[in-house]
Amino acid sequence: MNPLRWSYRASFFAGFLICAALLGFALYAEHVWGMEPCPLCIFQRIGFMVMGVFFLLGALHAPRRGGRWFYTGFVLLGALFGLAVAGRHLWIQSLPPDQLPSCGPNLAYMMDAFPFAKVLKMVFTGSGECAKIQPILGLPMPFWTLLWYILLSVWAIRVTLQRAPQRLRL
Least confident range from 5-19, 66-80, 114-128: namely: 114-128
- The domains located in the chain, with CATH, are 3-161 (1.20.1550.10)
CA distance 142 to 32: 19
The secondary structure element, H or E, covering residue 104 is: none
Phi then psi for 133, rounded to 5 degrees? -100, 120
Answer yes or no: are the C-beta atoms of 130 and 105 closer than 8 Å. Answer: no
Q: What is the pTM of this model?
A: 0.80
Average pLDDT over residues 44-53: 95
CA distance 92 to 102: 12
Q: How does pLDDT run across 33-45, given as a tens digit for each residue?
A: 888 888 888 889 9
